[in-house]
Amino acid sequence: MSQPLSHPDLRRRNLALLLGTLLRHEEATRKQIEQESGLSKATVSRLTEELLQAGTIVSRTDAPADPSARGRRAETLRPATTLGIVAGLSLGTRTTSIFVTDLTGRELAWQQVRTPKWTSLDEAVAWTAEFAQQAVEPLSAPLRRVVVAVPSRTLDGVTIMRAPLFMSVLEGDAFARALADRLDCRIRIELDAAMVLVGLEHLGFIDRAISPVLLNASSVLTMSLRRRDGSIVEGLTRSFGDFDLIPIETPFGHSTIGASLGARGLFDLSERLGHPLEAMEDLWETEGEAIDRLRDVFQAALLQAIRIIAVTTDPRLIIFTGRLSPLVRLSLPRVEAALARELAEPPELRVVGHAANDYPAAVGAAQEARDGAVVDLLDRVTGSGLDGLR
Going from the C-alpha of 81 to that of each of 77, 108, 304, the distances in angstroms are 13, 10, 48
Residue range 51-57: mean pLDDT, rounded: 90
* pLDDT above 70 for 354: no
Distances (CA, A) of 136 to 104, 147, 285: 16, 14, 40
Q: Choose the weakest-confidence range: 16-20, 29-33, 63-67, 94-98.
A: 63-67
Q: Which whole number is the average pLDDT over 370-378?
A: 95
* Calpha distance 336→338 (Å, rounded): 5
| Stretch among 45-54, 155-164, 187-196 having the lowest mean pLDDT | 155-164
The H-or-E segment that residue 61 falls in is: strand 57-62
Nearest by Cα to 45 from 13, 14, 80: 14
Residue 298, φ and ψ in degrees, nearest 5 = -60, -45
Distance (Å, whole) CA 196 – CA 190: 10
* Residue 68 pLDDT greater than 60, yes or no: no
Sign of the Cα pseudo-torsion (165, 169, 170, 172, in order): positive
Q: Is 209:390 a contact under the CB 8 Å cutoff?
A: no
67 — pLDDT class (breaks 50, 70, 90): low
What is residue 329's predicted lDDT score, i.e. its pLDDT? 95
CA distance 141 to 208: 32
For the stretch 342-370, what's the b/e string if a residue is b when 16 or more beta carbons lie within 10 angstroms of its beta carbon?
Answer: eeeebbebbbbebebbbbbbbbbbbbbbb
Fold match between domain 7-79 and domain 84-197+358-377: no
Q: How far is CA 307 from CA 34, 105, 130, 338, in A?
A: 51, 37, 43, 10
Instruction: Classify residue 270 as left (phi > 0), alpha (psi -120 to 50) or beta.
Output: alpha
Q: What angle do CA 142, 372, 139 make, to 5 degrees?
A: 25
Which of 190, 183, 206, 127 minimizes the C-alpha distance to 157?
190
What percentage of the chain carries pLDDT values higher than 70?
93
Write out pLDDT tens, residues 132-171: 999 999 998 999 999 999 988 888 899 998 887 778 899 9
CA angle at residue 300 from 297 to 304, to 5 degrees?
140
Let me know: does 217 contact 329? Beta carbons within 8 Å. no
- pTM over cut 0.85: yes
Give the contacts of 379 (CB within 8 A, at least 6 positions apart): 388
Predicted confidence at residue 91, as pLDDT, reads 93
User: Which of 188-202, 228-242, 257-271, 276-290 is the least confident region?
Assistant: 228-242
CATH class of the domain at 84-197+358-377 = alpha beta
What's the rounded Cα separation, in Å, for the pair 36 and 24? 10
Record: fold of 7-79: Arc Repressor Mutant, subunit A (1.10.10)
pLDDT band at 258 (very low <50, low <70, confident <90, very high): very high
Categorize the per-residue pLDDT at 3 as very low, low, confident or very high, splitting at 50, 70 and 90: very low
The per-residue pLDDT for 1 is 40
Domain residue limits, the chain:
7-79, 84-197+358-377, 206-351
Share of the chain above pLDDT 90, in %: 64
- The Cα 110–Cα 365 span in angstroms is 13
Q: How confident is the model at residue 252 (pLDDT cuts 50, 70, 90)?
A: confident
Q: For 43-63, what is the mean pLDDT?
A: 87
SS3 at position 390: coil
Domain 206-351 carries which CATH code?
3.30.420.40
Judge whether 91 and 150 are in contact, CB under 8 Å: yes
d(C-alpha 89, C-alpha 72), whole Å = 44
The pLDDT value recorded for residue 71 is: 52
For residue 17, what are the CA distances in angstroms to 14, 21, 80, 123, 275?
A: 5, 6, 17, 43, 63
Listed range (5-9, 70-74, 91-95, 379-383) with the worst mean pLDDT: 70-74
Strand 85-91 to 95-102 pairing: antiparallel
pLDDT tens-digit series, residues 112-130? 999 999 999 999 999 999 9
Asked if residue 127 lies in contact with residue 116, where contact means CB atoms within 8 angstroms, the answer is yes
Question: What pLDDT shows up at residue 357?
Answer: 53
What is the DSSP-derived secondary structure letter of residue 28? B
CB half-sphere exposure, 296, CA atoms < 13 A: 12
Q: What mean pLDDT value characterizes the chain?
A: 89
pLDDT reported for residue 155? 85
Chain center to CA of 74: 36
290-299 pLDDT, tens digit per residue, is: 999 999 999 9
pLDDT band at 64; cut points 50, 70, 90: low
Region 182-198: mean pLDDT is 95
Q: What is the pLDDT of residue 17?
A: 92
